[in-house]
Homo-oligomer: A and B are copies of this chain.
Amino acid sequence: MAESWSFLDTWELDFRPLVVIELAKGTKGETIEWFTKRIVDKKANGGAQLLVKPLVTENGDENIYLVGASPLRLLLGAETVGLVKECNDNSMRTFTYSSRRTFKDFADDNHNFLTMAECQYIIKHELENLRAKDERMIPGYPQAKLYPGKSIVRRLLTSGILVQIFPLHDREELKKLRHSWYGRVKVGYQPLDEIRCYFGETIALYFGFLEYFTFALIPMAVIGIPYYVFAWEDYDKYVMFATFNLLWSTVILEVWKRICAIMTYRWGTLLMKRQFEEPRPGFHGVLGINPVTGREEPVYSSIKRQIRIYLVSLPFVCLCLYFSLYVMMIYFDLEQWALDYHEENESNFSSMMLFVPSIIYAVVIEIMNRIYRYAAEFLTSWENHRLESSYQNHLILKVLVFNFLNCFASLFYIAFVLFDMKLLRQSLATLLITSQILNQFAESLLPYWLQKRHKKRMKKRMCSLKTDTDLSLVEQINLEREMGTYFGTFDDYLELFLQFGYVSLFSCVYPLAAVFAVLNNITEIYSDALKMCRVYKRPFAEPTANIGVWQLAFETMSVISVVTNCILIGMSPQVNALFPDSKMDLILTVALVEHLLLAIKFIMAFVIPDKPRDIQIKLAKLEFESLEALKQQVRATDTQNREK
């Protein structure tokens, strides 16, 4: 067995640090010893069989550890996590160690066969799957209970002994990536494959979606510009614009599924088997038997969770919605006040003042969104969902409903209660532009500036010390562990979702929205890229095959926008002029058009295949091969049985 591996003696030579483990200061020696022993221990003994090296820092603290693994260990790990790679015959297949030579670019001495992000993902997976055997608690910390099968790392994290685990940046690679991503001024696509190699599929897919969405908005923007330039105020032109918008938004969402399938097929994640989902770190409960796995683990009654959801979370969300509407009414009072002021003293200043309530309201909306976000996270976490996916779904639902109402309620009110199209256009513009500016600032530029200041201070301190350790590595790790943590693509998608709402819900009164969205998204690409490369710790790569629940959210938004646009068009004076005799005919016509558009939408969504034909054929081919292999196996068993 592993005794025959020689790397255990020579690992100091080719040790490449991949992942950093930061323990709390003053962690007991026995705990560290037990934990590092488990990490390096053989698989057969329940270890992870990885490599660990303490990092000696300037003050001699031993609380930071570097984790790496031998190339062979990584290849075996790639098989365990079920990575899908390209073969020599250009097909995508699940990697197995025994068939390694059939894979493209594989060579025993090619240590770049697995990307660094994949290696770090494998190490994370192996660390998280370090499970308690017969330990009842973490050595040295009797209050940190364990039970057989519990993930050690998760318990260490929840009990605060483990501060963080994060993957290291590769400075050379990062420099190259930065250069090709945003280092030079160029027109063109982002290097999505390189982003995927460095940051993993989830983040690459977000940037892919952002780019695709921006390109998809360009036709809307191009059609929208003449409305501003020539000051077209004819509603019949708006009708054309809105109709185009509605069909276009359906098409782009359907086409995105196909583009997503092409990308994730190339990256291998479309074929990756779903791993069995373990309980999320924060989940707690009394020990019981899990009916699915038959293992002893904490269980939490579903009824208790339902009670928490329906008797606490739901009322709380409703209260927040009510509060948001209340704030909206205050905004309308302010708006009225500004209008009165403007009428009393007509001046440049007073006409500037007209925009102030909208700007204040936009800032308040952003602040409320952010505060609500924390409340939603706290509540969803308190609901104690067993699975990360169920936690995410409940969180997204809560946040989406609130943000939708918070951002759009005032617009709905202006459009369908006040019937004030001029105010609607003004509000829409102010809200959209203010929120874009705030977001760009709060998300990227502020952290970047903070980060830069911190870095300078660190560098000064570093240079004043004289140690003989690898200064640049120590320096790098010290820098990176202080960086902020990137909490996933949630906020980025949410921003795009709200932007899509501003663009599509009332597109027929403000065609210029698409222009602002395109401009914002172009800078968003750069500022998000900056954020990923410079501001935050490197995140662990997460394989993913699609944008998940966001697809549904965008589709729902486009259905709602059909309804709102049809009503807006029906309310326009030009369309009203077409039906001088009877309001009834007008409304019936609008309702008919709306139903037709919705029907066309659903038929289009049904008719356009989710995957392009060549991907379908490739997937069918793989399925056929696995069925054939199964048949061969059955046939072999047949023969064996007959021989008995």
Interface residues of A (CB under 8 A from B): 1-2, 4-5, 43-44, 76, 79-80, 96-98, 275-276, 291-294, 563, 583-584, 587-588, 591, 595, 617, 620-621, 623-624, 627, 631, 634-635, 637-639, 641-643
**Contact B642–A595 (Cβ < 8 Å):** no
Contacts of A80 in B (CB 8 A): 631, 634
Asked if A292 contacts B637 (CB within 8 A), the reply is: no
Given A98-B637, A641-B98, the answer on whether A276 and B624 have CB atoms closer than 8 Å is yes
Give the secondary structure class of A's interface: helix
Which residues on B sit within 8 Å (CB–CB) of A291? 617, 621
Are A1 and B595 neighbours in the complex by a CB distance under 8 Å? no
Q: A583-B584, A595-B563, A642-B4 are in contact. Are A292 and B620 (CB under 8 A)?
A: yes
Pair B98/A276 contact, Cβ less than 8 Å? no
* Bound CA span A624–B295, Å: 11
- Asked whether B563 lies within 8 Å of A1 as measured between CB atoms, the reply is no
Cross-chain pairs A/B with CB under 8 angstroms, 11 sampled: A4-B642, A4-B643, A80-B634, A96-B637, A97-B641, A292-B620, A293-B621, A584-B584, A587-B588, A587-B591, A591-B591
Q: Is the CB of A276 within 8 A of B595?
A: no
Nearest-CB residue, chain B, relative to A631: B80
Q: Looking at A79, A588, A624, which has the most chain B CB atoms within 10 Å of its CB?
A: A624
A623–B76 contact, CB under 8 A? no
Q: Find the residue from A1, A635, A637, A638 having the highest chain B CB count within 10 A.
A: A638
A21 smallest CB distance to B (angstroms): 24
Q: How many copies does the complex hold?
A: 2
Instruction: Give the Cβ gap from A232 to chain B, nearest Cβ, in Å.
Output: 29
| In the bound complex, CA of A593 to CA of B28 (Å) | 66
> Nearest B residue to A586 by beta-carbon distance?
B584
**What residue in chain B is nearest A563 (Cβ atoms)?**
B595
Residues of B within 8 A of A627 (CB): 275-276
For the complex of A and B, the 5 pairs showing the least CB-CB separation, nearest first, are A292-B620, A583-B584, A587-B587, A292-B621, A276-B627
CB–CB B4/A276 < 8 A: no
Closest B residue to A43 using CB positions? B638
- Do A293 and B617 touch (CB < 8 A)? no
Q: Which residues of B contact A631 (CB under 8 A)?
A: 80
Give CA–CA (A337, B76) in the complex, Å. 85
Does B584 lie within 8 Å of A634, measured CB to CB?
no
B43, A635: Cβ atoms under 8 Å? Answer: yes
The answer to whether residues A641 and B76 also contact, given A275-B627, A292-B624 and a CB cut-off of 8 A, is yes
Whether B584 and A624, one on each chain, are in contact in the complex, defined by CB atoms closer than 8 angstroms, is no
A565 to chain B, nearest CB (A): 14
Is there contact, CB below 8 Å, between B583 and A643?
no
- Given the complex of chains A and B, what is the CA–CA distance between A294 and B642 in angstroms? 31
Residues of B within 8 A of A583 (CB): 583-584
Tell me the minimal C-beta distance from A503 to chain B in angstroms. 22
Given known A5-B642, A583-B583, contact A276–B623 (CB-CB < 8 A) = yes
Chain B residues within 8 Å of A563, by CB: 595
A45 to chain B, nearest CB (A): 13
C-alpha gap A591/B594 in the complex (Å) = 11
**From residue A602, how far is it (CB to closest CB) to chain B in Å?**
9
B587–A79 CB distance below 8 A: no
The docked-state distance in angstroms from the alpha carbon of A588 to that of B638 is 69
Beyond A276-B624, A276-B627, A621-B291, whether A637 also contacts B584 by CB under 8 A is no
Given contacts A275-B627, A583-B583, list 7 more A-B pairs with CB under 8 A: A1-B639, A2-B642, A4-B643, A80-B634, A98-B641, A292-B617, A292-B624
Instruction: Give the complex CA separation of A346 and B591 in angstroms.
Output: 43
Residue of B nearest to A590 (CB): B591
Residues on B with beta carbons closer than 8 Å to the beta carbon of A275: 627
| Cβ contact of A293, chosen from B2, B293, B624, cutoff 8 A | B624
Q: How far is the CB of A101 from chain B (nearest CB, A)?
A: 13
Chain B contacts for A588, CB-based, 8 A: 587
**B contact residues around A595 at 8 Å (CB):** 563
Complex-state Cα separation, A617 to B292, whole angstroms: 6
Please give the distance in Å from A75's CB to the nearest CB on chain B: 9
When chains A and B are docked, how far (Å) is the Cα of A98 from the Cα of B641? Answer: 8
A293 to B627, CA, bound (A): 11
A638 CB contacts on chain B under 8 angstroms: 43, 76, 79, 97
Which residue of chain B has the shortest Cβ distance to A591 in the bound complex?
B591
Chain B residue nearest to A75 (CB atoms) is B641
Give Cα distance in the complex from A620 to B5, angstroms: 38
Which residue of chain B is the closest to A1 with respect to CB atoms? B642
Residues in B with CB closer than 8 Å to A621 are 291-294
Within the assembled complex, what's the spacing in Å between the Cα atoms of A186 and B563? 52
How distant is A621 from chain B, measured CB to nearest CB, in Å?
A: 5
Residues of B within 8 A of A293 (CB): 621, 624
Partner of A584, one of B587, B617, B641, B643: B587
